[in-house]
Copies of this chain bind each other. A is one copy, B any other.
Amino acid sequence: MLRPKPITPDEVKRHNLARVLRHLHEDGELSRSDLVVLTGLNRSTIGALVSDLAESGLVEEVPGMGGSRGRPSLVVRSKSESVFVLAFDLRVDRIVAAAIGLGGEVLAHIQRPRSNGPYPVEKAIATILDETNELFEALPTGALWAGVGIAVPGVVETELGFVRKAPNLGWIDLPFGELIHGAIKEHFGVCPRVVLGNDANLGAIAEYVRGGATAASSVVYLSCDVGVGGGVVLGGQVLAGGSGYAGELGHLVVNPHGQPCACGSKGCWETEVGRDAILGAAGFNLGQDSFPELLDAAKSDPEGMAAKLTEVGEWVGVGLVNLMNSIDPNYIVLGGHLAEIYPYINEVVERRISQSRPNIKTRANISLPSLPLDSPLVGAAEMAFGPLLLDPLQHVEQIYSLV
């Protein structure tokens, strides 16, 4: 057994710097007085911490909107435009990328299409390098590059940057974080830390930190690109599970007599409400290309589409009931294709939930994604800011300036 070490003044300072910077990153501009109230630290300590952060180029003090008499009062803000991370989201039909500033401001946002199906790793790396290049052109000289975050549709070892399996990409046991780090370093000379996360987990984090779920103690995000992925955030933390496989919600068995699933089971949530099940139910050809056609058809005949998707709605409802009766989240976000078809299935879904949870107070709030960018991309940026937010001054020495 190890004896816990006593806490040093340096550690206290590091902890307090981290608290102040996180407030500015998540809550936006704050006065020194706001920071005193939020942290419980005294005014002179806050003054010293703000000076340290300003000296490192992470925050600045500018005149605020308040101050009724005389000169306007100062507010502290994170330097969104000059401290940034790059975030990527590997989707089934495109690679989305953004440069996001400290504080959450979107500095630049682009995407490249990719062909459906397995994605050769070299192509993924080339696309990310290419997007990195384009994002850099949109950023000011001297901006500080604090990290890289990548949302992966699969099972990921976040700490190791390792993809265990990503069926939509055709990847198994791939050290993708290391490969990207190496490629960026070779191409651009430097590369800050690269972190990977499961796309649904990152979606849940984004909704919790910056979306509609900021007041929710428990959030589930369903990322639906081809299949169904799940992310669970409890009290602000991703639920990893005993073996790292929590939130594999696409493999909840909703219809034991349903279609066989690639996982070996049958009637999994994703075989019943995945993209192809929806296309099939609506009488379209399978595959990504048909989905926009389906949405067009739904727009011209909403009632007809609702009728065709009744059974899909039932299965969506059964899965949601099972989430409410196990995890009981107070906020569930339907992402991807479920968000797109929700207007045509919502009545069936609501009815199915009411059967199991007659008391409306015990039902989760069912929502669509609430952020202007896609939620996993925003979550990837939050994850990439993690090391800087945990230990600002230590980390600032490891970040790079764009010349």
Contacts and interface: CB of A to CB of B under 8 A. Distances in A.
A38 B1 contact: yes
Contacts of A356: 251, 253, 263-265
A214 interface: no
A101 interface: no
Contact of A242 (B216, B248, B314, B358): B216
B327 A265 contact: no
Contact of A326 (B318, B327, B330): B327
A52 interface: no
Interface residues of A, number: 56
Contacts of A358: 264
Interface of A: 1, 3-5, 36-38, 40, 216-218, 230, 232, 234, 239-249, 251-257, 263-265, 314, 318, 321-331, 355-358, 361-364
A314 B254 CA distance: 14
Contacts of A247: 326, 328
Contacts of A355: 264-265
- Say whether chain A's binding surface is mostly helix, strand, loop, or mixed: loop
B243 A234 contact: no
- The list of the 8 closest CB pairs from A to B, nearest first, reads A241-B328, A242-B330, A246-B328, A4-B40, A265-B356, A248-B325, A243-B362, A251-B325
Contacts of A322: 252-253, 322, 326
A329 B244 CA distance: 10
A243 B328 contact: yes
A290 to B, nearest CB: 27
B265 A326 contact: no
Contact of A254 (B239, B256, B364): B256
A264 B355 CA distance: 5
A202 to B, nearest CB: 18
Nearest to A261: B356
A283 to B, nearest CB: 23
Contacts of A255: 256
